[in-house]
Amino acid sequence: MAKHFLVSFKTCPWVQRAAIVLREKGVAFELRHIDRDNRPDWFLAISPHKKVPVLSIDNKVSLFESNAIAEYLDETIEPRLHPDDPVQRAINRAWTDFLPTFSEMVTGQAYADDEVAYKDSIAKIPPAFEKLEGALKTQGPFFNGSKYSLVDAAYAPFLQRYFYLDRVKPLGVIEKFPRVKAWADALLKRPSTHSFPEAEFEQLYRLNVKLRKKYLSQFIADQAVAAE
């Protein structure tokens, strides 16, 4: 099989999305972590937007943008995660198109500068979950029912971060959306969601938010930093 490596910042949700798809397909790959503040020249040469993830295949091809990477992997490596039915596939793609907006609505709070901006930001969480509650028409456990899909891989990192942020400063929103809550719980139980041991990863995420020096940083104890 081709040699894959995925260029990463450790806590990047878009990298995690690509890593999930690779794991779901049983592809052996290396996560190559780079320093956000000191991106190496070899990386800048293969990443047009200077962003992670980049998926390198056999040191010949470099793909960027998590959605393009996920779609490429799904077209080339079994098992197919997109539904066979073209209508269902279009619906799934419509929901992965919504992901950047969803991420901003649900995890944008981590970038709020002050309390006013934080309150504005968390007011966007219920409408985001409401849209998904309406989209989750099946009995689950996954977006399309029993079969795991690219929609699941896309949303898992952001739903995971909702829980992390809820533990920094309680939000109590997801409980009001039982289908979203059940979906998120199923995704968090799925081994492919995780690139790191869970407790270690949450700690890394908290450290990241702490060091960002935004409004939420003050609610993360200094021990979170000292522990690193």
Ligand X SMILES: N[C@@H](CCC(=O)N[C@@H](CS)C(=O)NCC(=O)O)C(=O)O
Q: Which stretch binds ligand X (CB under 6 A): 7-15, 84-92, 137-145, 212-220?
A: 7-15
Asked if 201 interacts with ligand X (CB under 6 A), we say: no
- Letters for 71-110 (x = contact with ligand X by CB under 6 A, - = none) are ----------------------------------------
**Alpha helices (H) in 84-197, listed in sequence order:** 86-97, 99-107, 115-122, 125-135, 150-168, 178-189
**Residue 220's CB: how many other CB atoms inside 10 A?**
20
In order of 44, 49, 102, 169, the CA distances from 64 in angstroms are: 12, 9, 20, 34
Nearer to ligand X, 152 or 177 (CB): 152
Nearer to ligand X, 83 or 157 (CB): 157
With CB under 6 A as the contact rule, the residue among 56, 66, 144, 149 that binds ligand X is: 66
Distance CA 87, CA 108 (A): 31
Distance CA 214, CA 194 (A): 26
Distance CA 17, CA 66 (A): 7
Nearer to ligand X, 43 or 148 (CB): 43
Q: Kindly state the smallest distance separating residue 139's Cβ from ligand X, in Å.
A: 30
Asked if 9 interacts with ligand X (CB under 6 A), we say: yes
Q: Are strands 4-8 and 29-33 parallel, antiparallel or unpaired?
A: parallel
In order of 27, 82, 158, the CA distances from 6 in angstroms are: 12, 22, 19
Q: Which stretch binds ligand X (CB under 6 A): 62-70, 103-111, 184-192, 214-222?
A: 62-70
Asked if 12 interacts with ligand X (CB under 6 A), we say: yes
- Letters for 13-32 (x = contact with ligand X by CB under 6 A, - = none) are -x------------------
Name the site residues for ligand X (rule: CB under 6 A): 9, 12, 14, 50-53, 65-67
